[in-house]
Amino acid sequence: MEQYIVSARKYRPTTFDSVVGQKALTATLKNAIVTGRLAHAYLFCGSRGVGKTSCARIFAKTINCMARTPQGEACNECDSCRQFNENRSMNIIELDAASHNGVDDMRALTEQVMVPPTVGKYRVFIIDEVHMLTAAAFNAFLKTLEEPPAHAIFILATTEKHKIIPTILSRCQIYDFNRIGVADMVAHLAHVARTEGMTAEPAALNVIARKADGAMRDALSIFDQVAASTEGNITYAATIENLNILDQSYYNRLVDAFVAQDVAQALLIYKEVRDKGFDSQFFINGLALYLRDLMAAGNSATIGLVEASDDVRAALAERAAGLHPTFLYRAMDLCNDADFNFRQASNKQFLIELTLIKLCQLLSPSSIDSGDDEGRLKPLPAAAAPLKPEGAAPAASAPQPHVAPAAPSSSVAAPAAETPKPRFAPGGFSLRGSMSRVREEHAAPAPAVAARRARPFGEDELHKAWKDFIASHSSEPLLTGSMETALPAAVDGRYVVTLPSSVLADQINSRKGEVLAALRTALDNDDVDFDVVVSAGELAPQYWPEKRVLDYMLERHPLMGEMMQKLKMRLR
């Protein structure tokens, strides 16, 4: 009976062309071999399972090959290649630094370096997990690495480059290996399945690739696990069951419940998830990732950030078209808060249920008008206000530039205009009025209003109301600090608040509904409005970075620069 070999070993790359997901890097190594521009030391960096050690072995085999192909690959027929393929080559020495990390190990390696090759031109020393060497071992290795014999080449591999001392880094050519993309993994897994005579659904291979998180070795190990449980018929349903992955249909149903503000349905779906044995933190993280994919798929500029097949991306884009970006942002924020607080929560189930209730309330009028308190419950429907008497005169329109003229009221409320579904524009979206659009799409029709307040006011009155709001919210420094940065100013028929950074703009936009409500009450005018824009010009001095402040001071005070030079002072 033939011995079984796991796929991660059986399909380990043996040529540069068979390395998955590292085309630019392998092309560079092949060119170096063809042109004879070989360094004496290389450092291969990257996460696990991306091909560092495999590329090191291929590189060592190829430079000793006596009859390379025109494409720069090893021939697999000469004595050197045969010795390598049969694991008896004396020209390739592999050392695991995780278990051989002392000074004595480095001294033994140094002695081997002096022995010339018997076949071929080079002896290649591959040191895996080199960051595990002790400081003393690094120092013992340093001189040999700097001035090795002409026949010696070192290839160091590590998953943690930041732990390598600078004196080692400066003596190596550094190659950074990429995480392997989902598309490349799926293509390679499909090739393995065909070679092994198995059937595999693309959706199932996509699940395996995403589960592997950029590591080809992990993907092949997971593939073997699923193939063993399905007897070679790898289906999507069998894959998610075997890997204990939550099906995306649960998240689809949850988003439907959020939009419908159906708290009961959301809690029942969560119960189904728990009954299937899924961890609550795993569930909330999966929901956050699904919302993130929806957000990215809703914009043609960012849909490439979704690591999925084209069919899945198209389905996500279609679904995201009916959801406002602000809803997705706030939903992701709530999921992130739940994940952050999960470990400290004494009742973890209650924490997740409360988060789901808040998510269901995101589109309620009470939440959107206030601009914060996302999870505040909807109030009971209020009784309709009395209609305006027919003989009443229409309200006077407010003076420009703050609003467009108000429509005259009548005894019968006009039907609300139909608002199209919001979509991502190719270049992004406008923040102005975003909250009001969400309210118009998802809230129930408002009762008829008796009369609109439209008392004329001037810019000075608006500024006073603005400052009064700041004074009344002194306990909220983030909001009031942003509002103190600029006052509303008339620009092209509207009031505009111009801020030096998007961070300040976000603070005001997140509470715009509350600010507008206070201004309209103070000015007795329901048409008060303002836009928040970010200035593209020079930042105000109070927002300069430290380097800009220092440059300004040195320009104004040259003696300060001389003092800094004498004292060897610098900005850290």
Q: For residues 498 and 511, state if they share a domain.
A: yes
Q: Is residue 389 situated within a structural domain?
A: no
* Torsion on CA atoms 16, 22, 25, 27, rounded to nearest 10: 50
Q: Edge-to-edge strands of the sheet including 92-96?
A: 92-96, 123-128, 152-158, 41-45, 173-176
**Domain at 162, CATH number:** 3.40.50.300
Q: Is residue 299 situated within a structural domain?
A: yes
What is the percent of the chain with per-residue pLDDT over 70, rounded to a whole number?
A: 82
pLDDT at 476: 82
**Domain at 198, CATH number:** 1.10.8.60
Q: Is residue 215 situated within a structural domain?
A: yes
Place of tokens 């001392």: 165
Q: Is residue 443 situated within a structural domain?
A: no
Q: For residues 154 and 25, state if they share a domain.
A: yes
Residue 21: CB partners within 8 Å, gap ≥ 6?
50, 51, 178, 179, 180, 181, 184, 185, 216
What is the percent of the chain with per-residue pLDDT over 90, rounded to a whole number?
A: 13
Q: Is residue 448 situated within a structural domain?
A: no
pLDDT at 155: 92
pLDDT at 541: 61
pLDDT at 354: 93
Place of tokens 């003229």: 405
**Who wins on pLDDT, 131 or 423?**
131
Whether the per-residue pLDDT at 402 is higher than 60: the answer is no
Q: For residues 464 and 548, state if they share a domain.
A: no
Q: Are 436 and 516 in contact (CB under 8 A)?
A: no
| pLDDT, tens only, 120-172 | 788 899 998 888 888 888 888 888 888 888 889 999 999 888 888 888 888 89
Of the listed ranges 211-220, 226-235, 264-273, 361-370, the least confidently predicted one is 361-370
- CA–CA gap between residue 342 and residue 295 (Å, rounded): 24
Average pLDDT, the chain: 79
Q: Is residue 159 situated within a structural domain?
A: yes
For residue 551, the enclosing domain spans 538-572
Domain boundary among 370, 390, 417: 370
Whether the per-residue pLDDT at 440 is higher than 90: the answer is no
Q: Is residue 412 situated within a structural domain?
A: no
Q: For residues 192 and 279, state if they share a domain.
A: no
pLDDT band at 378 (very low <50, low <70, confident <90, very high): very low
Q: Is residue 92 situated within a structural domain?
A: yes
**Domain at 493, CATH number:** 3.30.300.180
Q: Angle between the 52-63 and 23-35 helix axes, to the nearest 10 degrees?
A: 20
Reduce the DSSP state of residue 181 to 3 states and report it.
coil
Has this prediction a pTM greater than 0.85?
no
Whether the per-residue pLDDT at 350 is higher than 90: the answer is yes
